[in-house]
Structure 1
């Protein structure tokens, strides 16, 4: 694709679109990893995952598509060295009767909702391990199966352990689990931790009331601490020295008065800071204005919010349609671009943003790119608006930005801020 063929962004400042891929006609992308010159992209509606050759970022080329197991989705994945870990879970959005309306997904306990429907077990739940020593030819070498709806998102940056959000039988929604990968061909679930009230099998009852969803989205781990985001349940810092018995350090929840959706953590250990994004989950800010918070975590038992990232304001995004607000953060993975002062984030219908937090009390936006509206819709939920919904962002070691959208494919962006 030449520069003249690229879809012209709706807005750009200190960012330049240099490449685009429709991911082989499967434009729906969620989590992506860029590893050894290839982008690995999970699909929320096309099911399965794709691999795009981005060694020439101006001319990305889709080379592989791996179909998900029946009735399952592979929306999140992780790469490290020769391993690719891919989640397996019930394809919730295929259940149009239950989850077609966004509120049903974001305001109800998913485990309770699915259990009430008494669905016959006909999906794959857990995680598949692939060998990607040949990057465009993933070879399945291991499988972790669990009883329940399955995994949502994983964190793995090498070593013996991976960490996931898992919805297991007997729980109301996704909890934190640790996974032993000493033998990647035989991964083992070794530890569990949840917020009180989530263990239905043990007779626990929720205390958070109707219309809220206490569910782990995911955790990032640094050292012996897992920084975990629980949607309407806020933030926990968890001690994982004993991987079989994680221990709470601190639970902090700001919902209410704020609208929940706590989604993405990013520890900045060299500065004693933690960035936390609350996901906007309903159209036109129906769930309230969402923020990305900066916490001082020098005392882990007492995290203190000291500022929020600026809200994009060059257009009236709240009225644009779709979701306006934070979603994902570039996660400073080993081998990628790593910075404790420059933060990259997706802002859904406001695209991709860069922020300088050299002064954590006064963050400044330093770049933005709002991609063009999708040319076609892969999202099969009824009534979704045809607007950009930038989903995930990954910045490679040389500083190129890769971003997915629910319908518009893969954007490759040069930051010039």
Structure 2
């Protein structure tokens, strides 16, 4: 166990805590990883401070905070993607109430870093300016192209931007795709507020996009300069006003989830579903994930009662990285105040919860969220090829977990 004192366990079944780090009280968010010369390096973005950290997790029981790097001022740097020795770091204008000062200038787009030469001391290679609000949840799995979720000037909501990284010191956009209505500068009229959340998860010549209120969008990206629509699966008014937050492929199944934007009972029930994409031109819902409920003895009937945000947030994403777990039968999914939930989808018509982990609530705030009850808010999850699970909580830090032999028994 790491030297930092971990929060006590509130609820757990089939999962045990093996390590913890409070990250110097920096609020943690998105995760990425690479393995270099047998060492495992975790890259974490932060809330309420621009920048990110490098943590050596070669020994999962004793994570070591190696370095924290400052990002551009007045800028969200919420997401990192690492592959092929490069890190693609999102830059986004922060939302008011999350630390953004409209009187100050922000930097938008992505930063591209060399994390191959020295994984613990990244070297900046380039800034790719997307204009507008910048980028939110991008996708880079190595190779030549990065797929950005960005709102450039002249558009309403995020669109897809495909960027060529053949020369990582000079990124160049080569293609765009957007839903009709988003190009307001071109005279189009938007129907919604929330569009592409991202990522655009690439499988061969197809990309699966979590496109907000539009739903699940499947694109043919064989021509990077001119992506074309293959299909769209609408979820209507289900979930929050955001619509579809994530759409992650597991073989012929894409697991789609929404995300709560408001706290408590101010929105509809968030959802997670299994979508059959054996025919990408005709996606169809085939399974609904069970809603998790608090364990006996917590005094709660539902997680909605607990306060703050509840419901699904981020899934583990393999993205073809050999240091990460590839298992098309299990879904690792953070659930805000419900901690981490693990599901078996070997029978996708009947997703089944097999394990969960919820720590005690934090004792002090590291930022302005949650606004109401100060409770657990698990944000992101990543699982390495050793089966080690990493989860972030913005008011706790980094949790290092693993499944036990009891996973699946009685759940």
TM-score (norm 1): 0.89
CA shift digits 1:232-285 (9 cap, x unpaired): 22110011111111111112211225545311111123xx11111111222124
Residue 379 of structure 2, aligned match among 367, 383, 391: 391
Matched, 1:308 2:288: yes
In 2, Cα distance between equivalents of 1:140 and 1:409? 26
Q: Aligned in 2, Cα 1:96/1:89: closer, same or farther, shift over 3 Å?
A: closer
The match for 1:69 is 72
Task: State the shift of 1:214 in Å.
Answer: 2.8
Q: Is the 8 A contact 1:131 1:141 kept in 2?
A: yes
The match for 1:18 is 18
Task: State the shift of 1:348 in Å.
Answer: 0.7
In 2, Cα distance between equivalents of 1:190 and 1:175? 14
Matched, 1:142 2:126: yes
Structure 2 gaps of 5+ residues are: 296-301
In 2, Cα distance between equivalents of 1:356 and 1:368? 12
Matched, 1:363 2:351: yes
CA shift digits 1:25-60 (9 cap, x unpaired): 20x111101222111011121221111121121111
In 2, Cα distance between equivalents of 1:69 and 1:11? 38
Structure with the largest fraction of helix: 1
Partner secondary structure for residue 198 of structure 1: coil
Task: State the shift of 1:385 in Å.
Answer: 2.3
The match for 1:113 is none
Q: Is the 8 A contact 2:316 2:331 kept in 1?
A: yes
Partner secondary structure for residue 24 of structure 1: helix
The match for 1:326 is 312
Matched, 1:237 2:222: no
The match for 1:29 is 28
In 1, Cα distance between equivalents of 2:209 and 2:174? 18
Q: Is the 8 A contact 1:394 1:403 kept in 2?
A: yes
Q: Is the 8 A contact 2:312 2:336 kept in 1?
A: yes
Residue 331 of structure 2, aligned match among 323, 337, 343: 343
Q: Is the 8 A contact 1:153 1:217 kept in 2?
A: yes
Task: State the shift of 1:96 in Å.
Answer: 6.4
The match for 2:390 is 402
In 2, Cα distance between equivalents of 1:262 and 1:122? 30
In 1, Cα distance between equivalents of 2:30 and 2:339? 15
Q: Is the 8 A contact 1:279 1:290 kept in 2?
A: yes
Task: State the shift of 1:120 in Å.
Answer: 6.5
The match for 1:175 is 159
Residue 124 of structure 1, aligned match among 100, 107, 118: 107
In 2, Cα distance between equivalents of 1:24 and 1:381? 18
> What is the total number of aligned residue pairs between the two structures?
391
In 2, Cα distance between equivalents of 1:390 and 1:188? 35
Structure 1 gaps of 5+ residues are: 99-118
Q: Aligned in 2, Cα 1:250/1:382: closer, same or farther, shift over 3 Å?
A: closer
In 2, Cα distance between equivalents of 1:157 and 1:394? 15
In 2, Cα distance between equivalents of 1:377 and 1:385? 11
Q: Is the 8 A contact 2:18 2:400 kept in 1?
A: yes
The match for 2:5 is 5
In 1, Cα distance between equivalents of 2:139 and 2:89? 11
Instruction: Kindly report which structure 2 residues correspond to 1:50-199, keeping only aligned pairs within 5 A, or say none.
Output: 50-93=53-96, 122-133=105-116, 134-199=118-183
Partner secondary structure for residue 5 of structure 1: coil
Q: Aligned in 2, Cα 1:97/1:53: closer, same or farther, shift over 3 Å?
A: closer
Residue 47 of structure 1, aligned match among 40, 50, 55: 50
